[in-house]
Structure 1
Amino acid sequence: MIEPARATRPRGETYGGQSREERTADRRARISRAALELFAARSYDDVTVAEVCARAKVAKRYFYEHFTDREDLLLSVHRQENDWLLAGMSAAAPKEPDNLDALLRPMMTALVTMLAEHPDSARVIYINAPRMELRRRGVLRKNAELIGRLVRRSVPRPRDRLRRERLLLALVAGVTEVIIDWLERGMTDDPAVLADHLTGFAAALLSGAE
């Protein structure tokens, strides 16, 4: 007698205990993880789709089910890693900070700590993907918008909104350049010192905004 569940299950729906959807998600995750490792270790131009597939142990045909090409892959990985970083900063920000320093210090500490603990992610976020100028600009604006939303927990809404938006963009760009310098010098500086410097830098800019 055929069991009802098996009678309606399409051929190939499960394999090795995984459903079709689970296998698809697993392949995409392996490709993204392999790309993160390779793009962190070498420049974008030196990494090939074939190398990514080999490291991920995935056939090329599966690569093209998820990504158009190498650039699409890098952008996807960069978006994923940057979103992870922003989520960590948001989670660290206190809901009702007493002052600007109380808001910024845990955010900057989370930022530096996450990057120090995940150097591959750090290099992909700040070194490799930003070589694509349009993507770099979009990320700066997105990050500035997040910082702006969090800053409103401690600083009242500005009288000059455009001025605040430009200040936040300059702040994020400055923090980015400091982090790039830190990465390029091997991340040898004490992360706590870097977080303190970034906190002071951000607080000085934002406190003088008005």
Structure 2
Amino acid sequence: MTAAERVADRRERLITAAYGLFANPGFHATTIERLCSTAHISNRAFYECFAGREELMRAVYERCVDDTLNAVGAAIEDAPPTLEGRIVAGITEYVRFVTLDVRRARIMHLEVRRAGDVLSGSRQKAVAGFTHMIESSLKGLQEELPAELHLLALALIGALTELLIEWVLSDDRPEKDLLVATAVHVFRRSFQN
């Protein structure tokens, strides 16, 4: 391997290790030494890839968000071109994809908050991405949309986020179908004039 390929390989191994460790035992409980041990690299090699744990957490979180945006975007694209069709498809795929791997759900909805201010910019960027997806997928429909679509989209993202935090933290997790039904209900009621 070339030097660049070795760095890319180490970076990917660190992201894979962090995906598991940042989900459990969590961001704050995971040391650089443990990350390096799990990824089978030296501490020095860590710093060739990332400036610190925060930068690694940002890379893991942004990958989770990008993968989720792609999955949800594809589901909305394949949905019927109606408000109902796009809302149901988007919510269903979001819940399905995020909960498919509890590590993704924990990183996106719990650990990103626990990481604190160092990830607030990445979190805001993710919220903006999902808000834009909602707005752009609904504009152009024949149906009448609320004038405050942007603020409504933000509020709906917050509601869905809290439902998934409940799912992550509960000992007796709510059924995924119930999460979808609840979020769809909130979305439907919000879009009624």
TM over 0.5: yes
Aligned pair count reads 189
Question: How far apart are 1:206 and its partner, in Å?
Answer: 2.8
Match for 1:151: what amino acid?
L
1:103-146 deviations in Å (ceiling 9; x for gaps): 11121111111122211011001000123252333432232122
Question: How far apart are 1:50 and its partner, in Å?
Answer: 0.9
Question: How far apart are 1:22 and its partner, in Å?
Answer: 3.3
Counterpart in the other structure of 2:72: 89
Q: Distance in 2 between matches of 1:92 and 1:51?
A: 37
Question: How far apart are 1:95 and its partner, in Å?
Answer: 5.1
Whether the 8 Å CA contact 2:20–2:103 is kept in 1: the answer is yes
Alignment of structure 1 residues 50-65 onto 2, 5 Å: 50-65=33-48
1:17-61 deviations in Å (ceiling 9; x for gaps): xx4443322211110010010110023221111111110111122
Identity value in percent = 24
5+ unaligned residues in a row in structure 1: which ranges?
A: 1-13
Indicate the SS of the match to 1:204: helix
Alignment of structure 1 residues 70-89 onto 2, 5 Å: 70-89=53-72
Q: Distance in 2 between matches of 1:186 and 1:127?
A: 15
Q: Give me the TM-score of the superposition, normalised by structure 1.
A: 0.80
5+ unaligned residues in a row in structure 2: which ranges?
A: none
User: Measured at CA, do residues 201 and 57 of structure 1 come closer, stay the same or move farther in structure 2, by a change above 3 Å?
Assistant: same
Larger Rg: 1
Q: Which moved more, 1:128-137 or 1:142-151?
A: 128-137
Q: CA RMSD in A?
A: 2.2
Whether the 8 Å CA contact 1:97–1:103 is kept in 2: the answer is yes
Whether the 8 Å CA contact 2:76–2:89 is kept in 1: the answer is yes
2:83 paired with 1:124:
no
User: Measured at CA, do residues 155 and 39 of structure 1 come closer, stay the same or move farther in structure 2, by a change above 3 Å?
Assistant: farther
Question: How far apart are 1:99 and its partner, in Å?
Answer: 2.2
Counterpart in the other structure of 1:178: 163
Counterpart in the other structure of 1:141: 128
Q: Give me the TM-score of the superposition, normalised by structure 2.
A: 0.87
